[in-house]
Amino acid sequence: MSEFDLIDALLADEPPLPSWVSTGPGDDAAVLAPPPDSEWVLSTDTLVEGRHFFAHTPPDLLAYRALAVNLSDLAAMGATPSGFLVALVAPGLDTEWCRRFSAGLRAAAGDCGARLVGGNLARGSLAVTVTVTGTVPRGRALLRSGAAVGDDIYVSGRIGGALAARRTLEGDAAIAATLSGLSLDDVPDPLRAYLLPAARVELGQQLRGVASACIDVSDGLLADLGHLCARSSVGARIELASLLVADVDPLEAVVAGDDYELLFTVPAGRSMQLPGNDLPLTRIGRIEHGAAVRLLAADGREVASAKRGWSHF
Amino acid sequence: MSEFDLIDALLADEPPLPSWVSTGPGDDAAVLAPPPDSEWVLSTDTLVEGRHFFAHTPPDLLAYRALAVNLSDLAAMGATPSGFLVALVAPGLDTEWCRRFSAGLRAAAGDCGARLVGGNLARGSLAVTVTVTGTVPRGRALLRSGAAVGDDIYVSGRIGGALAARRTLEGDAAIAATLSGLSLDDVPDPLRAYLLPAARVELGQQLRGVASACIDVSDGLLADLGHLCARSSVGARIELASLLVADVDPLEAVVAGDDYELLFTVPAGRSMQLPGNDLPLTRIGRIEHGAAVRLLAADGREVASAKRGWSHF
């Protein structure tokens, strides 16, 4: 199987490229035409087998995850996705694997606008590096650094869902068989939050001009709020009772990674009714003076958290 | 050693970011402000230990190579580099390794304008994926697809230099000790063509509006000319005697990879005097009808080549 056969398989079912892609796959580099008065937003993330995804993960679910976690970074910036590059390292590939992989990319992109514009194949231990690019109107990117004392803290969706799903998988004695038998269309509900995370791309764009700061919850809510506070030179308090939590302990949920919800701050008292968005947006606390992120129980007492979330390295 | 200590070490010696980087490392994504009326050029390439670089390669030389091979793709598009992202997968890291790695990135970037704007660290088998981005004036990217019958074919520099250097290394019984003892400033001349390839970024920009098609010689001259001809729906003939070849057989040089010179076509008879460029530019053949790439000896006879160059996978 030659590299070119594999690339053909990866591109076989791709629809025609949109107008903003001047040059797609097949040249030395991709060329994208940005809208006028825009800035470019770029992020890259690698998934390594056995560390960021389970061995035996089918190619469509792997590809879905690799793109979704990157789109989540664009969402956190309020960016409109445009293109992505895939650098795939694998011990061996066949055309069927490649077709399923590219179906996973298309599923993760959905109708958010992100299109495969280039990439690279290399032989080695299985790992996928996706680089995403998107645009924001000039000066309108949502940064981590804009939170101010008194701002309300919000999070989208439900926290801890990925942890609950991962536990279900890890408790499955036949995990290899279960995983390898799955495909995009038949992931059981209890596993979806982990295997098919939804990047909040639409919400991120709606938050431009609304949120004062934003980050995605990839390392765990507490750790990610810590990153946001550090960049904004502020502290925060979280009211545990207000959190919308999946079927896990709230103290576990706040340090669990992989939820890919958006955590953002909004000037105090601002209404968070966003048009046409049925994703729950929950006010979970407030930005404070200082540098600490404090967790408060329902009775107002401060609660200690055992750990701080996912470490990348 | 925490991820954040490592990132601090990677960024420790970086000069202040230029004006076109609105948001650099430390947020969910980088934000770049493009010049008006420009398009964006994006490419990604992975280097895997043992496949794209020797085990025991010091971190500065690894980083240099990882960025240079990507900048070479931007050069082939005629792009002006702006930013790059580094996704580094490694079994373990320390701050000294990271400092040397970032010194290698800075050396490869030189004064071409490319700046580290983001990245990602993950644990696994050593591999580096760099994604580069640059700009071209709208519609001015050099593509592989523009070659026309009758165009002259040129190549920059000397072909086969990387092969000669790699042979010197492979013939070294103490290769591990030799390699691990090297650093950016003391690579012996016979090894430089392989270990410190120079991306022809300045030449690429000079070729905008001059070359009808362009590609970088990464897979081997014959293979890369084949890619260019395929995208342009033309054939080509190469006059072997005209090639500027390093200390290897010309028939080996044309199928050797890793030279990172630019191979380009120019309308027939156009003078190739480029201002302030002392890199040799050699006319090596002509674009023809058909689809074949033919090699001609000095007496005009066609010569067969044993192989077609590097296969990525």
Task: Kindly list the residues from chain B whose CB atom is less than 8 angstroms away from the CB atom of residue A31.
Answer: 39-42, 77, 136, 141
Listing from the earlier edge strand, what are the strands of the sheet with A30-32?
A21-23, A30-32, B38-48, B127-137, B80-90, B115-123
Nearest to A312 among B3, B125, B145 (CB): B3
Residues 6+ away with beta carbon under 8 Å from B12:
B99, B102
Task: Kindly list the residues from chain B whose CB atom is less than 8 angstroms away from the CB atom of residue A48.
Answer: 89, 122-124
- pLDDT < 50 positions in chain B: none
Nearest CA in chain A to B31: A41
Is B133 close to A133, i.e. CB distance below 8 A?
yes
Strand runs (DSSP E) across chain B, as ranges? 21-23, 30-32, 38-48, 80-90, 115-123, 127-137, 152-156, 213-216, 235-239, 262-266, 281-288, 293-296, 302-303
Confidence (pTM):
0.95
Is B44 close to A79, i.e. CB distance below 8 A?
no
Give the integer Cα–Cα distance in Å for B109 and B72.
11
- Kindly report, as residue ranges, where domains of CATH 3.90.650.10 are found in chain A: 144-303
B-contacting residues in A 43-82 (Cβ below 8 Å)? 43-52, 73-74, 76-77, 79
ipTM over 0.85: yes
A-contacting residues in B 115-134 (Cβ below 8 Å)? 117-125, 127, 129, 131-133
B3-137 placed in CATH 3.30.1330.10: yes
Nearest CA in chain B to A123: B313
Is B77 close to A31, i.e. CB distance below 8 A?
yes
Nearest CA in chain B to A26: B231
Q: Does B23 touch chain A (CB under 8 A)?
A: yes
User: Comparing C-alpha atoms, which of A260, A264, A293, A263 is closest to residue A52?
Assistant: A260
Q: Which CATH class is domain B144-303?
A: alpha beta
Task: Kindly list the residues from chain A whose CB atom is less than 8 angstroms away from the CB atom of residue B95.
Answer: none
Most B CBs within 10 Å, among A1, A20, A42, A82, to test the B interface: A42
Is B28 close to A139, i.e. CB distance below 8 A?
no
Round to the nearest angstrom and report the end-to-end CA distance of chain B: 34
pLDDT of B304? 82
Q: Does B41 touch chain A (CB under 8 A)?
A: yes
pLDDT of A310? 58
Is B76 close to A28, i.e. CB distance below 8 A?
yes
- What would the two tokens of residue B165 be? 């250097």
* Residue-by-residue DSSP string for B224-277: HHHHHHHHHT-EEEEEGGG--B-SS-HHHHTT------EEEEE-TT-----TT-
Quick check: A27 and B73 in contact, CB under 8 A? no
- Kindly report, as residue ranges, where domains of CATH 3.30.1330.10 are found in chain B: 3-137
Nearest to A42 among B1, B76, B118 (CB): B118
Quick check: A154 and A224 in contact, CB under 8 A? no
Task: Kindly list the residues from chain A whose CB atom is less than 8 angstroms away from the CB atom of residue B147.
Answer: none
pLDDT of B180? 94
Is B118 close to A34, i.e. CB distance below 8 A?
no
Nearest to A141 among B31, B76, B144 (CB): B31
Nearest CA in chain B to A263: B28
User: Comparing C-alpha atoms, which of A47, A114, A37 is closest to residue A74?
Assistant: A114
Give the integer Cα–Cα distance in Å for B38 and B45.
23
Nearest to A87 among B46, B51, B73 (CB): B46
**pLDDT per position in chain A (313 positions), as tens?**
788 889 999 999 999 999 999 999 999 999 999 899 999 999 999 999 999 999 999 999 999 999 999 999 999 999 999 999 999 999 999 999 999 999 999 999 999 999 999 999 999 999 999 999 999 999 999 999 999 999 999 999 999 999 999 999 999 999 999 999 999 999 999 999 999 999 999 999 999 999 999 999 999 999 999 999 999 999 999 999 999 999 999 999 999 999 999 999 999 988 887 777 789 999 999 999 999 999 999 898 999 875 666 566 6
pLDDT of B33? 94
Pairing of strands A115-123, A235-239: unpaired
How far away is chain A from the Cα of B231, in angstroms, using its nearest Cα?
A: 8
Is B119 close to A216, i.e. CB distance below 8 A?
no
Phi, psi of B46 (to 5 degrees): -110, 135
